[in-house]
Structure 1
Amino acid sequence: MRETFKKLYQAGDFWGGLAAMLVALPAAIAFGVTIYSAIAPGHAALGALAGIIGAAAIGLIASTFGGTDRLISAPCAPAAALLSAFAIELLHQGVPGGNIILLLLLLGVLAGLFQILFGFVGIGRLIKYIPYPVVSGYMTGVGLIIVGSQVLKLLGTPADTRLHEAVASPELWDWRAVAVGATTMLVMWLAPRLTSRLPATILGIAAGLLCYFGLALQDESLLRMADNDLIIGPLGASGQGYFQAITARWYEIGDLRLAQVAALLGNALTLAVLLSIDTLKTCVVLDQMTRSQHNPNRELIAQGVANIASSSIGGIPGAGTMGATLVNLSSGATTRASGLIEGLSALVFALMLSSFIAWIPVAALAGILIVVGIRMIDRGPLRFIQSSATVFDFGVVVTVVVVALSIGLIAASAAGVALAIILFLREQIGGSVVRHKFYVNQMSSNWHRPEAETRILGQKGDQAVIFELQGSLFFGTTQQLYAELEPELRSRSFVILDLKRVQSVDVTAAHLLCQVRDVLAERQALLILSNVRENLPNNRNLREFLEQTGVMDIPEAVRLFGELDSAIEWVEDRLLGASEQAAAEPETPLEIADMELFKHRKDETLADLETRLVKRHYAAGEVVYSCGEAGDAIYLIRSGTVKIFAPLGGGRTRHVATFGRGDFFGGLAFLDGLPRGNDAIAASDAEFFVLSQEQFDQLTDEHKKLALTLLKALSRSLALRLRHADTENAMLQEY
């Protein structure tokens, strides 16, 4: 709080808050009049004061506790639409006007509590992901409700007149109200084209007042405040006025029936969602314009506290508003102190100009709200009709709008949530959950095997199929996945499902995995799952989930691996006839004569070569060499395995190769003399023969044929590795 006030000296915050107030305050008064005049025309002044209190309280409190710089919070159109519809519904049920006011206050308090709950449980980050068609339908529905609720005030017809009767009966119109409202609307539409210095709402009200007093020159009755339904009238802020009335209402809370209070919950939840969407949408736009980052959950908590405070003292609830926020930003505001200026100035101006506010024509406020409502109508989805791919999205918008107008915003909320689920399912089902499909003779492991073994894998590799899965595995995609798996289940000995890019797995998908396991088990084939993580993006432990859902009930039919390469390597060993028992037996270190590179060489030649080799031992996990190190030696593996890791940047590496007994590594630096381009780490206890470039040069002088044989072997092996890498890379590019 102290830091906020220290920044008040900034001129941008002062003028920004002041300019934002000129936008927010007239709209807040109009919203309040809309809500309270729905109870009775004589409540318009009470509504105006409720709007003023809302603008001041929300502006001060939301800016104090919220963390979003430049955001202006004030009463808004969604609150006006829902609260006025709620008041009309209660009126039709025969609820007394005093009780309706109390229920409106309770509704605002409950909505604030819901917003605080949203913030504490982290829903703030989720609300902004509501699909655009649903939000568009909400906003358009709210805009149409606002417009519809103001037509009677614009035409000046009796309060009990139905909308269609008023529109069709010009004889019921009060042409004075029509003239004032039309003048206000015209100036509001034209104002942005004429000047950007003064808010359109201020110019609109000024035009409406000039028109009203111009008419008063011809009709002196318009200069009387008493019994004048064309103006707001006295605000009643003193004596037996507003605060005494609100305090009295809270004392009557015990007279409410439990059913009435319970009925508020659905409306309060809807209001909280609408206000939260309005706030977070404004924050997202503000972030984009200022390259900042708001905290959605903190902002929701602040908005909830502000709405509770505002409703408790008789104000109407609100949210972060787009229009006032953009005016604040364009006026030079830089911190949230501008929100405090807006709240304070709204209170000061209201107290200083209470007599002036009483003369504001109701039709002028109606004209303002009609313009606001029309601007809320989203015409963007009309282009959705032009393509069959987006017709359903247009249908979502229309459905939400129709439900909002015919039933109410609560039903529209439910319809919106249901349609959001349908939109999600459509997108998930529309895409394939299978990203790639390979056979092991197309996508081998990182283990560099001898040529003889590579030929065998080329012949037998189609016995194992690899499916790289993606997205969400749930009830909507299981049938599609099974359709792609089924042709392979009857003929393959190994089916590998890689789950690295899977976002979530539900019980239906787990049941499908059980079915796949059982079909394979009938043929003594295996289901292999790789990249089975303990933490999915939805925080589910996938390994535990598979155990709980029965996928692991037949251990001999399912195997789990931490990464795809390990799974492929294990399958390759099975295809080559290797057993797990043989793999676990200790290796005998090879001598020079036993290595493929030096077979059929003379003993005396090999003896001379061996004198130039250095024997080295590395424990499992020990670094043989690191990327960037100088090195010109080649390593011949006597026993054990070595893994090669390529750098990815940012301190990250990727496993790219594994070499075993009888193979070699480090050949590139040996040939070109450049620094090491990767890391070599002993995967198990390993022994090497190390041949340096210096020793090789001496060997070349004495045994040219042996040196040439060694170079040919190195070149052939490196060429085979490059050819294999090119083939896999081309296949990946194809996908």
Structure 2
Amino acid sequence: MQNYSMNDFRKDVLAGVVVGVIAIPLGMAFAIASGVRPEYGIYTTIIAGMLISIFGGSKFQIGGPTGAFVPVLLSIVLMYGYENLLIAGFMAGVFLLLMGILKLGALIKFIPRPVIIGFTSGIAVIIFSGQIANFLGLRGIEQHEDFLSNMKEILVHLNTINPYSLAAAFICLFFILVTPKFLPKVPSALVGLLVSSLAATYLFPGQTATIASSFGNIPNSLPEFQIPEFTWEKIHVLIGPAFTIAVLGAIESLLSAVVADGMTGKKHNSNRELAGQGIANMVTPLFGGIPATGAIARTATNIKNGAVSPVSGVIHSLTVLLVLLILAPYASLIPLASMAPILMVVAWNMSERKEFARILLTKTGDSAVLLITFGLTVFADLTIAVEVGLLLSILLFVKRMSTALKVDQVVPDPIRKKVRPLSLASKPHGCPQVHLFTVEGALFFGAAQLFEQALHKSIQDEPNVLILRMSKVPYIDTTGENMLKNVVKDFQARGVTIFISGVQAQPKDMMKRTGLYDMIGETGFFAHTGEAINAALTQLNKSQCLGCQQYAFRECTALSAPSYKGELL
């Protein structure tokens, strides 16, 4: 807020009002889709939106209810009820606050892209399919937790299609699609909602289900402050759903912040963003609100309309509050069929269909992770989908990294400025007394056994000295260190000296911590391979060199001559 001017304030007010107008129908729609009353979505937009702007780590973030939460919140409401949803939301806020305090913001960014696209696309399918009943005006629909049961419910009740609801839905959808082409700065969702609501009210009054007929009138005031009834039993039952809300909220908010960074050239503070999300989600349930997170579309709209600071987010919340106080009775007349196209378009936009197809067409392990995550999101459970997707991604990564490890026996070029694999050398002769190996890749639990097997398979004769070139080993874990220690012990027991050249900082630190460094000895470590070779040549059995025709090193010509009586250099 340094150097904040009146001109900046005017820009923030304009952006905040525009985003606030857009947020009203979305807040109600997401609340209804989540199985709660529409005003709870408005409360969330007002309270969480303001707190996220004040305490968050992004200058442009707009917070509120989002489509990503819909399947999770609906499942919690169906299983535990609205009161327990408030408790789960509060607990999710605590988790998010702890994530920020513990500086876990960077870790969330490491969730693989196929997992994110898989569950995002799955959520989009659930949201879209969940609005078919309202779009068609079906009667007698009972909501279920699983996708297939909900689809069966729609098929069974297809004979109850309401043509008036269908008309209202198509009118709203038409204006949502057409308005951006002729009035790009006008919120298309609001235009569609207003026109279709007016059409339903005056052309066929009383023929469609409305917010008032389904949920009662929307009160034109905020609810009273009330602390939910916390018990250890409820906390124990809801800790899993709460953690799911927290992780999903963290991912969504940080993705939104990254999008904002890309649009503005600014940088957000990921840990502060998580802490701000936590505070917002702890306070909002105390006023009846549902879980909230950063909304990518609304944040982008905020930036496009000229926002320069978090003040625009505060204005956005105040705009929604003002509309609630003045226009709440009119909002109660909105047909549910008019809300359905808004959520369907949101689902279509968040489906990531192009990215989904791109990853699928790679026909790699990532394609399998994508499909499995997507399928589990739709047909099982979002939590299971993310857990399985992450597990598969980890296994896939381990497999790739383990096959990436290379252990090659090498020989120096005649000028000894570089080495080549023994199989590719112009004179593929290695020294019987000095074996030289290049290790390339991370030496971790997934590749440790491969390392040991490759060494023993390549070493046919027992050398005097074994040189390991480890300049291309960036990381070693305790499993890899233990396997290396076994190799060192095995060869040292047979009288073989171990030299290591070019070891990087992390592997050296690990060796020092475990005692392997001392086992090899400080004199066994060299910065360059040439230094290690010079030290190895001093430990040769000179009698074995006489008559040797391998000529692995440039000194070999003199060493193998029968008349040689000098000392090694």
Q: Structure 1 length as normaliser, TM-score?
A: 0.65
Q: Once superposed, what is the RMSD of the aligned Cα atoms?
A: 3.1
SS of 2:467 mapped into structure 1: strand
**Counterpart in 2 of 1:54?**
44
Give distance in 2, aligned partners of 1:493 and 1:292. 59
Give distance in 2, aligned partners of 1:60 and 1:144. 30
Residue 44 of structure 2 aligns with an amino acid whose one-letter code is: G
CA contact (8 A) 1:490 1:520 kept: no
Residue 171 of structure 2 aligns with an amino acid whose one-letter code is: T
Unaligned runs of 5+ in 2: 144-149, 419-428, 542-569
Give distance in 2, aligned partners of 1:113 and 1:8. 37
How far the C-alpha of 1:136 sits from its partner, in A, is: 0.6
Matches within 5 A, 1:529-548: 529-532=500-503, 535=506, 541-547=509-515
How far the C-alpha of 1:77 sits from its partner, in A, is: 1.0
**Counterpart in 2 of 1:374?**
348
Give distance in 2, aligned partners of 1:526 and 1:82. 61
Give distance in 1, aligned partners of 2:344 and 2:383. 22
SS of 1:505 mapped into structure 2: coil
Specify whether residues 173 and 383 from structure 1 end up closer, same or farther in structure 2 by C-alpha distance, changes over 3 A only. Answer: same
Matches within 5 A, 1:447-596: 463-470=434-441, 472-491=442-461, 492-532=463-503, 535=506, 541-547=509-515, 551=516, 554-555=519-520, 560-561=524-525, 564-565=527-528, 568-576=530-538
Matches within 5 A, 1:68-147: 68-90=58-80, 100-147=81-128
CA contact (8 A) 2:114 2:359 kept: no
Specify whether residues 197 and 473 from structure 1 end up closer, same or farther in structure 2 by C-alpha distance, changes over 3 A only. Answer: same
SS of 1:332 mapped into structure 2: coil
Specify whether residues 336 and 477 from structure 1 end up closer, same or farther in structure 2 by C-alpha distance, changes over 3 A only. Answer: same
Residue 328 of structure 2 aligns with an amino acid whose one-letter code is: S
The percent of aligned pairs where both chains have the same amino acid is 25
Specify whether residues 287 and 363 from structure 1 end up closer, same or farther in structure 2 by C-alpha distance, changes over 3 A only. Answer: same
CA contact (8 A) 1:8 1:337 kept: no
1:243 aligns with 2:223: yes
CA contact (8 A) 2:467 2:532 kept: no
Give distance in 2, aligned partners of 1:527 and 1:337. 65
Specify whether residues 427 and 521 from structure 1 end up closer, same or farther in structure 2 by C-alpha distance, changes over 3 A only. Answer: same
Give distance in 2, aligned partners of 1:225 and 1:185. 17
**Counterpart in 2 of 1:171?**
159
* 1:85-137 alpha-carbon deviations (Å, 9 max, x no partner): 211233xxxxxxxxx22211111111111111111222210111211110011
How far the C-alpha of 1:494 sits from its partner, in A, is: 3.0
**Greater strand percent: which structure?**
1
**Counterpart in 1 of 2:425?**
none
Give distance in 2, aligned partners of 1:276 and 1:4. 31
**Counterpart in 2 of 1:732?**
none
How far the C-alpha of 1:266 sits from its partner, in A, is: 0.9
**Counterpart in 1 of 2:213?**
228
Give distance in 1, aligned partners of 2:112 and 2:476. 22
Matches within 5 A, 1:693-712: none
Q: How many residues align?
A: 522
Q: Which one is further off, 102-111 or 192-201?
A: 192-201
**Counterpart in 1 of 2:546?**
none
How far the C-alpha of 1:260 sits from its partner, in A, is: 3.3
Give distance in 1, aligned partners of 2:27 and 2:208. 25
Unaligned runs of 5+ in 1: 38-46, 91-99, 447-457, 580-735
1:10 aligns with 2:9: yes
Residue 525 of structure 1 aligns with an amino acid whose one-letter code is: V
Give distance in 2, aligned partners of 1:8 and 1:61. 24
How far the C-alpha of 1:480 sits from its partner, in A, is: 3.1
Specify whether residues 128 and 64 from structure 1 end up closer, same or farther in structure 2 by C-alpha distance, changes over 3 A only. Answer: same
Give distance in 1, aligned partners of 2:267 and 2:349. 27
Bigger CA radius of gyration: 1
**Counterpart in 2 of 1:26?**
25
1:439 aligns with 2:411: yes
Residue 494 of structure 1 aligns with an amino acid whose one-letter code is: V
User: Please, which of 130, 136, 142 is the counterpart of residue 160 of structure 1?
Assistant: 142
User: Please, which of 184, 199, 206 is the counterpart of residue 187 of structure 2?
Assistant: 199
Q: Which one is further off, 375-384 or 297-306?
A: 375-384
How far the C-alpha of 1:483 sits from its partner, in A, is: 4.2
Q: Which one is further off, 286-295 or 437-446?
A: 437-446
Matches within 5 A, 1:238-317: 243-244=223-224, 247=226, 250=227, 253=229, 258-317=232-291
User: Please, which of 373, 391, 394 is the counterpart of residue 421 of structure 1?
Assistant: 394
SS of 1:465 mapped into structure 2: strand
Give distance in 2, aligned partners of 1:477 and 1:72. 45
Specify whether residues 27 and 423 from structure 1 end up closer, same or farther in structure 2 by C-alpha distance, changes over 3 A only. Answer: farther
Specify whether residues 318 and 482 from structure 1 end up closer, same or farther in structure 2 by C-alpha distance, changes over 3 A only. Answer: same
Residue 19 of structure 1 aligns with an amino acid whose one-letter code is: V
**Which one has more relative contact order, counting CA pairs under 8 Å at least 6 apart?**
2
CA contact (8 A) 1:54 1:318 kept: yes
CA contact (8 A) 2:62 2:313 kept: yes
**Counterpart in 2 of 1:42?**
none
Q: Which one is further off, 460-469 or 114-123?
A: 460-469
* 1:123-154 alpha-carbon deviations (Å, 9 max, x no partner): 21011121111001110121122123222222
Q: Structure 2 length as normaliser, TM-score?
A: 0.83
Specify whether residues 89 and 442 from structure 1 end up closer, same or farther in structure 2 by C-alpha distance, changes over 3 A only. Answer: farther
**Counterpart in 1 of 2:562?**
none
How far the C-alpha of 1:497 sits from its partner, in A, is: 3.0
Specify whether residues 215 and 545 from structure 1 end up closer, same or farther in structure 2 by C-alpha distance, changes over 3 A only. Answer: farther
CA contact (8 A) 2:434 2:536 kept: no
